[in-house]
Protein backbone atom coordinates (compact mmCIF):
# COMPACT_ATOMS: atom_id res chain seq x y z
CA UNK A 1 0.00 0.00 0.00
CA UNK A 2 1.52 3.32 -0.95
CA UNK A 3 1.61 6.27 1.39
CA UNK A 4 -1.10 8.17 -0.48
CA UNK A 5 -3.84 5.59 0.01
CA UNK A 6 -2.68 5.09 3.60
CA UNK A 7 -3.20 8.79 4.33
CA UNK A 8 -6.57 8.72 2.64
CA UNK A 9 -7.73 5.69 4.60
CA UNK A 10 -6.51 7.18 7.87
CA UNK A 11 -8.42 10.34 7.08
CA UNK A 12 -11.64 8.53 6.26
CA UNK A 13 -11.48 6.50 9.47
CA UNK A 14 -11.05 9.64 11.57
CA UNK A 15 -13.87 11.45 9.80
CA UNK A 16 -16.21 8.49 10.16
CA UNK A 17 -15.38 8.34 13.86
CA UNK A 18 -16.21 12.04 14.28
CA UNK A 19 -19.53 11.61 12.52
CA UNK A 20 -20.37 8.62 14.69
CA UNK A 21 -19.47 10.66 17.80
CA UNK A 22 -21.78 13.48 16.79
CA UNK A 23 -24.65 11.09 16.23
CA UNK A 24 -23.93 9.38 19.53
CA UNK A 25 -24.40 12.73 21.26
CA UNK A 26 -27.69 13.18 19.43
CA UNK A 27 -28.66 9.61 20.25
CA UNK A 28 -28.37 10.23 24.02
CA UNK A 29 -30.40 13.42 23.77
CA UNK A 30 -33.17 11.72 21.82
CA UNK A 31 -33.03 8.67 24.09
CA UNK A 32 -33.35 10.72 27.30
CA UNK A 33 -36.02 13.09 26.01
CA UNK A 34 -38.02 10.30 24.42
CA UNK A 35 -37.90 8.31 27.65
CA UNK A 36 -38.99 11.25 29.77
CA UNK A 37 -41.83 12.01 27.35
CA UNK A 38 -42.97 8.38 27.12
CA UNK A 39 -43.11 7.80 30.87
CA UNK A 40 -44.21 11.33 31.66
CA UNK A 41 -47.20 11.64 29.36
CA UNK A 42 -48.86 8.45 30.60
CA UNK A 43 -48.50 9.65 34.18
CA UNK A 44 -49.91 13.11 33.52
CA UNK A 45 -53.38 13.96 34.77
CA UNK A 46 -55.23 16.90 36.19
CA UNK A 47 -55.10 15.62 39.76
CA UNK A 48 -51.35 16.08 39.64
CA UNK A 49 -51.83 19.85 39.76
CA UNK A 50 -54.90 20.02 41.95
CA UNK A 51 -54.38 17.43 44.66
CA UNK A 52 -51.89 17.12 47.48
CA UNK A 53 -50.03 13.83 47.97
CA UNK A 54 -51.96 10.88 49.34
CA UNK A 55 -50.41 8.83 52.17
CA UNK A 56 -47.47 6.69 50.93
CA UNK A 57 -48.48 3.67 48.86
CA UNK A 58 -51.97 4.85 47.99
CA UNK A 59 -52.12 5.56 44.26
CA UNK A 60 -54.06 8.80 44.42
CA UNK A 61 -53.36 12.44 45.02
CA UNK A 62 -51.04 14.79 43.18
CA UNK A 63 -48.14 17.12 43.61
CA UNK A 64 -49.87 20.47 44.12
CA UNK A 65 -47.72 21.17 47.17
CA UNK A 66 -44.53 20.65 45.15
CA UNK A 67 -45.64 22.84 42.23
CA UNK A 68 -46.60 25.71 44.51
CA UNK A 69 -43.49 25.20 46.65
CA UNK A 70 -41.22 25.24 43.63
CA UNK A 71 -42.90 28.41 42.38
CA UNK A 72 -42.53 30.13 45.76
CA UNK A 73 -38.90 29.16 46.30
CA UNK A 74 -37.89 30.11 42.76
CA UNK A 75 -39.76 33.44 42.83
CA UNK A 76 -38.19 34.55 46.09
CA UNK A 77 -34.77 33.46 44.81
CA UNK A 78 -35.39 35.55 41.67
CA UNK A 79 -36.41 38.58 43.72
CA UNK A 80 -33.17 38.37 45.72
CA UNK A 81 -30.80 37.18 43.03
CA UNK A 82 -31.74 39.21 39.97
CA UNK A 83 -31.31 42.76 41.35
CA UNK A 84 -27.99 41.84 42.97
CA UNK A 85 -26.78 40.19 39.79
CA UNK A 86 -27.88 42.98 37.45
CA UNK A 87 -26.50 45.74 39.70
CA UNK A 88 -23.21 43.91 40.22
CA UNK A 89 -22.90 43.34 36.48
CA UNK A 90 -23.65 47.00 35.87
CA UNK A 91 -20.92 48.09 38.26
CA UNK A 92 -18.20 45.99 36.67
CA UNK A 93 -19.30 46.78 33.10
CA UNK A 94 -19.80 50.51 33.62
CA UNK A 95 -18.30 52.30 36.63
CA UNK A 96 -15.43 49.85 37.04
CA UNK A 97 -14.95 49.01 33.36
CA UNK A 98 -11.41 47.88 32.64
CA UNK A 99 -10.22 47.96 36.26
CA UNK A 100 -8.58 45.07 38.07
CA UNK A 101 -11.53 44.89 40.46
CA UNK A 102 -13.93 44.33 37.55
CA UNK A 103 -11.68 41.64 36.12
CA UNK A 104 -11.45 39.88 39.48
CA UNK A 105 -15.22 39.89 40.04
CA UNK A 106 -15.83 38.70 36.51
CA UNK A 107 -13.40 35.78 36.84
CA UNK A 108 -14.64 34.81 40.31
CA UNK A 109 -18.24 34.88 39.08
CA UNK A 110 -17.33 32.62 36.20
CA UNK A 111 -15.86 30.18 38.70
CA UNK A 112 -18.85 30.46 41.04
CA UNK A 113 -21.20 29.58 38.17
CA UNK A 114 -19.70 26.09 38.07
CA UNK A 115 -19.01 25.53 41.77
CA UNK A 116 -20.77 22.38 43.09
CA UNK A 117 -24.31 23.37 43.99
CA UNK A 118 -24.43 20.92 46.88
CA UNK A 119 -21.70 22.92 48.64
CA UNK A 120 -23.98 25.95 48.44
CA UNK A 121 -26.60 23.83 50.20
CA UNK A 122 -24.22 22.97 53.04
CA UNK A 123 -23.23 26.64 53.41
CA UNK A 124 -26.83 27.83 53.63
CA UNK A 125 -27.58 24.98 56.03
CA UNK A 126 -24.86 26.27 58.34
CA UNK A 127 -26.04 29.89 58.28
CA UNK A 128 -29.81 29.62 57.88
CA UNK A 129 -30.97 26.20 59.05
CA UNK A 130 -28.73 25.25 61.95
CA UNK A 131 -29.11 28.52 63.91
CA UNK A 132 -32.92 28.40 63.65
CA UNK A 133 -33.21 24.70 64.25
CA UNK A 134 -35.51 23.96 61.33
CA UNK A 135 -35.53 23.76 57.52
CA UNK A 136 -37.29 26.59 55.74
CA UNK A 137 -38.39 27.83 52.35
CA UNK A 138 -36.35 30.99 52.93
CA UNK A 139 -33.18 28.93 53.18
CA UNK A 140 -34.03 27.17 49.91
CA UNK A 141 -34.56 30.51 48.19
CA UNK A 142 -31.28 31.84 49.59
CA UNK A 143 -29.42 28.82 48.22
CA UNK A 144 -30.93 29.29 44.76
CA UNK A 145 -30.24 33.04 44.86
CA UNK A 146 -26.60 32.26 45.74
CA UNK A 147 -26.36 30.24 42.52
CA UNK A 148 -28.25 32.82 40.52
CA UNK A 149 -26.22 35.94 41.39
CA UNK A 150 -23.02 35.05 39.50
CA UNK A 151 -24.99 33.77 36.49
CA UNK A 152 -27.01 36.98 36.17
CA UNK A 153 -23.97 39.14 36.91
CA UNK A 154 -21.97 37.62 34.07
CA UNK A 155 -24.76 37.84 31.47
CA UNK A 156 -25.47 41.44 32.45
CA UNK A 157 -21.80 42.28 32.07
CA UNK A 158 -21.61 40.62 28.65
CA UNK A 159 -24.79 42.28 27.41
CA UNK A 160 -23.78 45.76 28.62
CA UNK A 161 -20.42 45.37 26.90
CA UNK A 162 -22.23 44.76 23.60
CA UNK A 163 -23.71 48.27 23.78
CA UNK A 164 -21.45 50.50 21.64
CA UNK A 165 -19.42 52.99 23.63
CA UNK A 166 -20.26 55.78 21.16
CA UNK A 167 -23.88 55.59 22.28
CA UNK A 168 -22.82 56.50 25.79
CA UNK A 169 -20.54 59.27 24.53
CA UNK A 170 -23.41 60.82 22.63
CA UNK A 171 -25.44 60.98 25.83
CA UNK A 172 -22.50 62.30 27.85
CA UNK A 173 -22.06 65.05 25.28
CA UNK A 174 -25.60 66.16 25.98
CA UNK A 175 -24.62 66.61 29.61
CA UNK A 176 -26.27 63.50 31.06
CA UNK A 177 -24.86 62.03 34.26
CA UNK A 178 -23.50 58.48 34.13
CA UNK A 179 -26.48 57.23 36.16
CA UNK A 180 -28.84 58.75 33.61
CA UNK A 181 -26.88 57.25 30.74
CA UNK A 182 -27.02 53.79 32.32
CA UNK A 183 -30.70 54.06 33.19
CA UNK A 184 -32.00 55.60 29.98
CA UNK A 185 -29.53 54.55 27.31
CA UNK A 186 -27.53 51.47 28.27
CA UNK A 187 -30.28 49.49 30.00
CA UNK A 188 -32.66 50.18 27.16
CA UNK A 189 -30.21 49.09 24.52
CA UNK A 190 -29.35 45.92 26.41
CA UNK A 191 -32.83 45.13 27.73
CA UNK A 192 -33.58 42.12 25.53
CA UNK A 193 -30.23 40.55 26.31
CA UNK A 194 -30.45 41.08 30.05
CA UNK A 195 -34.04 39.81 30.20
CA UNK A 196 -33.27 36.64 28.29
CA UNK A 197 -30.21 36.14 30.47
CA UNK A 198 -32.40 36.42 33.56
CA UNK A 199 -34.89 33.91 32.17
CA UNK A 200 -32.09 31.46 31.40
CA UNK A 201 -30.80 31.90 34.95
CA UNK A 202 -34.26 31.18 36.37
CA UNK A 203 -34.54 28.08 34.18
CA UNK A 204 -31.15 26.98 35.42
CA UNK A 205 -31.95 27.25 39.14
CA UNK A 206 -35.45 25.82 38.70
CA UNK A 207 -33.83 22.49 37.84
CA UNK A 208 -31.47 22.50 40.84
CA UNK A 209 -31.98 19.79 43.43
CA UNK A 210 -28.81 19.49 45.47
CA UNK A 211 -28.96 22.92 47.14
CA UNK A 212 -32.56 22.32 48.24
CA UNK A 213 -32.02 18.91 49.85
CA UNK A 214 -31.05 20.34 53.20
CA UNK A 215 -32.36 23.87 53.02
CA UNK A 216 -36.02 23.81 52.04
CA UNK A 217 -36.04 20.02 52.59
CA UNK A 218 -39.43 18.48 51.77
CA UNK A 219 -42.97 18.58 53.01
CA UNK A 220 -45.80 16.22 52.14
CA UNK A 221 -48.36 18.83 53.07
CA UNK A 222 -49.41 21.95 51.25
CA UNK A 223 -47.98 25.12 52.73
CA UNK A 224 -47.45 28.74 51.79
CA UNK A 225 -45.41 29.46 54.88
CA UNK A 226 -41.82 30.12 53.79
CA UNK A 227 -40.72 29.63 57.38
CA UNK A 228 -41.51 25.91 57.20
CA UNK A 229 -39.96 23.15 55.13
CA UNK A 230 -41.46 23.40 51.64
CA UNK A 231 -41.76 20.73 48.97
CA UNK A 232 -40.15 21.36 45.60
CA UNK A 233 -40.57 19.41 42.37
CA UNK A 234 -36.93 18.43 42.16
CA UNK A 235 -36.57 17.14 45.71
CA UNK A 236 -39.89 15.34 45.31
CA UNK A 237 -38.56 13.63 42.19
CA UNK A 238 -35.50 12.50 44.15
CA UNK A 239 -37.52 11.11 47.05
CA UNK A 240 -40.22 9.52 44.91
CA UNK A 241 -37.82 7.94 42.41
CA UNK A 242 -35.77 6.41 45.23
CA UNK A 243 -38.94 5.25 47.01
CA UNK A 244 -40.44 1.78 46.82
CA UNK A 245 -43.88 2.48 45.32
CA UNK A 246 -44.75 2.13 41.64
CA UNK A 247 -47.16 5.05 41.97
CA UNK A 248 -44.38 7.28 43.32
CA UNK A 249 -42.22 6.42 40.31
CA UNK A 250 -45.01 7.46 37.97
CA UNK A 251 -45.44 10.77 39.75
CA UNK A 252 -41.68 11.31 39.60
CA UNK A 253 -41.76 10.76 35.82
CA UNK A 254 -44.66 13.20 35.49
CA UNK A 255 -42.78 15.86 37.46
CA UNK A 256 -39.61 15.17 35.46
CA UNK A 257 -41.61 15.54 32.26
CA UNK A 258 -42.94 18.94 33.27
CA UNK A 259 -39.56 20.28 34.42
CA UNK A 260 -37.79 19.04 31.28
CA UNK A 261 -40.39 20.36 28.86
CA UNK A 262 -40.59 23.77 30.53
CA UNK A 263 -36.81 24.18 30.74
CA UNK A 264 -36.19 23.01 27.17
CA UNK A 265 -38.88 25.29 25.74
CA UNK A 266 -37.66 28.27 27.73
CA UNK A 267 -34.07 27.58 26.71
CA UNK A 268 -34.87 27.20 23.02
CA UNK A 269 -37.07 30.31 22.91
CA UNK A 270 -34.65 32.57 24.78
CA UNK A 271 -31.68 31.32 22.78
CA UNK A 272 -33.43 32.04 19.52
CA UNK A 273 -34.30 35.51 20.79
CA UNK A 274 -30.63 36.16 21.59
CA UNK A 275 -29.62 34.67 18.25
CA UNK A 276 -32.09 36.81 16.37
CA UNK A 277 -31.39 40.00 18.32
CA UNK A 278 -27.60 39.86 18.38
CA UNK A 279 -26.86 37.66 15.36
CA UNK A 280 -24.49 35.44 17.36
Shortest Å distance, C-beta 77 to another protein: 14
User: What's the closest the beta carbon of residue 219 comes to another protein, in angstroms?
Assistant: 13
Query: Residue 25 or residue 50: which is nearer to another protein going by CB?
Result: 25
Annotate 38-68 with DSSP letters as a single string: HHHHHH--THHHH-PBPSTT-S-B--HHHHH
Q: How far is the CB of 171 from another protein (least distance, A)?
A: 13
Q: 19 vs 227, which CB is nearer to another protein?
A: 19
Shortest gap between Cβ of 178 and another protein (angstroms)?
5
Choice between 12 and 225, CB closer to another protein: 12
CB of 232 to another protein, least distance (A): 11
Round to whole Å and give the CA distance between 116 and 177. Answer: 41
Q: Tell me which DSSP letter residue 223 carries.
A: -
Closer to another protein by CB, 67 or 217: give it. Answer: 217
Nearer to another protein, 35 or 224 (CB): 35
Give the residue with the Cβ less far from another protein, 178 or 245.
178
The answer to whether 91 and 179 have CB atoms below 8 angstroms apart is: no
Task: Give least dist CB 57 to another protein, A.
Answer: 19
Amino acid sequence: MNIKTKRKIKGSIALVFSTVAAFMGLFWLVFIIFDVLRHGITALNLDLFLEDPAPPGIPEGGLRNAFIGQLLITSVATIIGVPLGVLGGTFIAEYARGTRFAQLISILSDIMVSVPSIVVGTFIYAVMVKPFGHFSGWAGSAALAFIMIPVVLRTTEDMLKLVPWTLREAAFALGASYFRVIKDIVYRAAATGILTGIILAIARVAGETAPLLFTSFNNSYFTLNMNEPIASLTVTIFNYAMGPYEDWHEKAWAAAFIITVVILIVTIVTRSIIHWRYKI
